[in-house]
Structure 1
Amino acid sequence: MRIILVTGTGGAGRTTVAAATALAGAHAGRRVLLVSEDTAPLPDAEGRLRVLRPEPAADFRREFLALQARSGAALDLLGTAPLEEAELTELPGSRPFALLRALRDAADGPHELAVVDLPPLREALALLALPGQLRRYLGRLLPPERQAARALRPMLAQLAGVPMPAQWLYETTARWEAELAAVQAVIEAPSTTVRLVLEPGPGAEPALRTARLGLAVQRLGLDAVVANRILPAGSEDPWLAGLTTEQHRHLAGLRTAAGGLDELPHLGRAPRGAEDLALLAPARPDALPAPVPEWTVEDRRAEDGVLVWHVPLPGAVKEELSLVRRGDELLLAVGPFRRAVPLPGALRRCTVTGAGLVEGDLRVRFTPDPGLWPRTS
């Protein structure tokens, strides 16, 4: 299953590009699923295109009622009156979870291509990082290895003098962990890539740098950059000619920064029907990206007595970069992005002795700990 996640700056036309990409895939004979909150109907593609529209309110009610049913015994002990579906209203924050569940469901379907219309860029990057972050929080707060056998829990509670977490809490945590792991596996699969839609202007190049850096932190691939709503050159109208000149100046800078663009025309109106969407389909509707740069460990013990971990961070700035080692994790913060990265096995037996940023390559130096490193004869 090929999955394309479409995002971009607000108002750049990412929803239209997602629809055009899905429709082009269907016209090419593939079974396509479009995941989008947009309610506009799409042209018929001979039954090869299906639209899945996430419904955060309905999703919230369904998940809340299911959790309430599983926790019925505990709620009965507390004398709590259960809530009914009619009195439940959507809470802030339900939209990202509805979209993540839709993404998981898309990967399980019988389709060959899924196109997912994501929120604007910053929100989309936070959404893609969410499953991994929540899994880490759950693992720290309720680690599975600390779950005592049911028969021992009353005795342990008496010895400790505090109530032990209820079994249902661990069971709920395990269920959430499984769901989050499934979504994270979809996001991080090699066949899942991100497509960035920009409208050439002052904010386009900064948005491209932000996207590349945020995706690099999450080790995700960018398969194409789409420059949307390109104005035609050669207009005799001075006002339009001025706008076009300014836009094409930014377009030239974007071409250089992106190293290749899919350029889509401005139609002069809102897209209508299959013919308009065909004009807005990227030239490479299901292009695979260049391989995501690997985070590699370079063995320089013979030369310098260290191991060097290379972490590619394109566009990173030294002044906005910080590193903290905590146990077997490296806490990485770069610009607005943060991630706790598990250390490779060999580096866990080392101490951090320095780091440097060289042309977008973060090089973290580790010195083997003699007390932990295996001896060689």
Structure 2
Amino acid sequence: MHIQLITGPGGSGRTTVAAATALAAARDGRRVLLVTGEPLVPEAERLRVARVDSGEEFRAELVALQERGSALLGMVGARPLGAEELTELPGAEQFALLRALRRAARAPGTDLVVVDMPPLHEAAATLALPAQLRRYLARLLPAERQAARALRPVLAQLAGVPMPAQWLYEAAARWDAELAEVQAVIEADTTEVRLVAEPGPAAADALRLGRLGLALHQLPVGAVVANRMVPQGSADPWLAGLAAQQEKYAAEWAAELPVVALAHLGRDPRDPQDLAVLAQTPGLVPGPPAPRTDWAVEDRRAEDGVLVWAAPLPGVRKSELDLIRRGDELLLAAGPYRRIVPLPAALRRCTVSGAALADGVLRIRFTPDPALWPRTP
């Protein structure tokens, strides 16, 4: 199963492009599932739509959480909230989307899943959530503290109610399992991101930062859809200038990534017929997923006495980078994005001795610590 996550700057037309991509792939013979909140899809064979309703997801999850913790709520005299009085909180959309992604990855008889993602900056943050939240759970409720579980039934009999700690650890274990499943989908070799943007200076800046956030979390970008391209050769000076600007930026993007040019219809797409026209665009049907970029460890002990960890971060600027070693982890900041990365086993026995940026690749130098590095006979 191939999963394509479609995002772009706000107002770039990513929802329309997601729907057109799903329709084009279905017409090409693939069995397609489109995950979206606002579909504009004509009837088509081999195409199904899964609608994301963040409000309903939030209400159902909170009601279920109250039911599982009813004993604890009763102990403190709390009054449970009814589903009809619940209004979703900020962040509910991201969690609803992640759950929809997990369900889509399980969908039988599906060749391609097309996911209509939030705007680019929010999408990068959403895709990083599962790994980040699992790290928080591991720190706040470490597995080794569950060794006392055998005592909880005794304590529960003495108190006459289930112990809150048991409910808390059970909830944490369930959340971790769900997050692990979503993380596996996001990090799978069959998952990639496709960017949508209307070529121009503002979109170029947004794509540079967005690609940086995706690269920091090692999420591959398969292509860019240059949306709303106006035709060349217009006699109108304004249209001719706009067309020239779009071609300039599309060509710059094409130097790094495949670009699919989607024509401007002369109006905003408003019905299934418009979507069907866009679905005929060559190159819109996704090809094989883009390969994931590994952060390779280069052994240069023979030449320089160091190991080098190379992290490709396309478009990053030196002033946007920051890194801190903390125990067996590296805190890496790139622009507005941050990631805490576990160090490979070999690098845990080293100290950070420097870093350099060249050609969009950050190379971090590690010097073996004589007190920790294995000695050769």
TM over 0.5: yes
- Equivalent residue, structure 2, for 1:53: 51
User: Which residue of structure 2 aligns with residue 226 of structure 1?
Assistant: 225
Contact 1:68/1:82 (8 A) holds in 2? yes
Greater mean deviation of Cα atoms: 198-207 or 273-282: 273-282
Residues 72-111 of structure 1 aligned to structure 2 (within 5 Å): 72-110=70-108, 111=110
Rounded to whole Å, the distance in 2 between the matches of 1:74 and 1:225 is: 50
- The answer to whether the aligner puts 1:307 opposite 2:307 as a matched pair is yes
Q: Shift in Å at residue 117 of structure 1? A: 0.4
Structure 1 residue 309: Cα displacement: 1.1
Matches within 5 A, 1:1-377: 1-40=1-40, 42-46=41-45, 48-110=46-108, 111-152=110-151, 166-256=165-255, 258-271=256-269, 272-274=271-273, 276-280=275-279, 281=281, 283-377=283-377
In the other structure, the counterpart of 2:158 is: none
1:105 partner amino acid: R
Contact 1:144 1:170 in 2 (8 A): no
Partners of 1:28 and 1:343 lie apart in 2 by 43
Decide whether the 8 Å contact of 2:24 with 2:284 is kept in 1: no
Write out per-residue CA displacement over residues 127-173 of structure 1, whole angstroms, 9 at most, x where no aligned residue.
Answer: 111111111111111111122323446999xxxxxxx9711111111
Which one-letter code corresponds to 2:298 in the other structure? E
In structure 2, C-alpha distance between the alignment counterparts of 1:9 and 1:172, rounded to whole Å: 36
Moved more, 7-16 or 83-92: 83-92
Q: How many percent of aligned residue pairs carry the same amino acid?
A: 63
Amino acid at match of 2:142: P
Quote the offset at 1:84 in angstroms: 1.6
Give, in angstroms, the shift of residue 275 of structure 1. Answer: 6.0
The question of whether the paired residues in 1 share the 8 Å contact of 2:30 and 2:112 is answered with: yes
Shift of 1:259: 4.4
Q: CA deviation at 1:94?
A: 0.6
2-structure distance, mates of 1:249, 1:190: 32
Partner Cα separation in structure 2 for residue 309 and residue 250 of structure 1: 32
Counterpart-to-counterpart distance in 1, 2:84 and 2:289: 46
Of stretches 74-83 and 218-227 in structure 1, the one that deviates more from structure 2 is: 74-83
In structure 2, relative to structure 1, the CA distance for the partners of 1:346 and 1:83 (3 Å cut) is: same
Secondary structure of the corresponding residue to residue 253 of structure 1:
helix
Segments of structure 1 that go 5 or more residues without pairing to the other structure are 157-163
Q: How many residues align?
A: 367
- 2 CA distance for matches of 1:7 and 1:301? 42
Q: Quote the residue 2:159 is aligned against.
A: none
Output the TM-score relative to the length of structure 2.
0.92
In structure 2, runs of 5+ residues without a counterpart are 156-162
Partner Cα distance (1:105, 1:330) in 2:
32
- Relative distance call for 1:364 and 1:244 in structure 2 (3 A) is closer
**Alignment deviations for residues 325-348 of structure 1 (CA, whole Å, 9 cap, x no partner):** 111111001111100000001111
Report deviation, 1:240.
2.8
Q: CA deviation at 1:113?
A: 0.7
Q: TM-score, normalised by structure 1?
A: 0.92
Q: Which is worse superposed, 24-33 or 184-193? A: 24-33
- CA displacement at 1:270 relative to structure 2: 2.7
Kindly indicate whether the alpha-carbon contact (under 8 Å) linking 1:14 and 1:197 is maintained by their aligned counterparts in 2: yes
Distance 2:164 2:331 in 1: 29
Equivalent-residue separation in structure 1 for 2:82 and 2:238 (angstroms) = 59
Q: Which amino acid aligns with 1:223?
A: G
- C-alpha spacing 1:95/1:276, structure 2 compared with 1 (3 Å): closer
Give the residue type in structure 2 aligned to 1:54: V
CA change 1:282–1:80 in 2 (3 A) is farther
Contact 1:35/1:117, CA 8 A, preserved across alignment? yes
Residues 72 and 342 (structure 1), Cα distance of their counterparts in 2 relative to 1, 3 Å cut: same
What is the deviation of 1:105? 0.5
SS of match in other structure, 2:233: coil
Task: Specify whether residues 165 and 341 from structure 1 end up closer, same or farther in structure 2 by C-alpha distance, changes over 3 A only.
Answer: farther
Q: 4+ residue runs of structure 1 moved beyond 6 angstroms?
A: none
Deviation, structure 1 residue 292: 2.7
* Inter-CA distance 225–173: structure 2 relative to 1 (3 Å threshold): same
Deviation at 1:220, TM superposition (A): 0.9
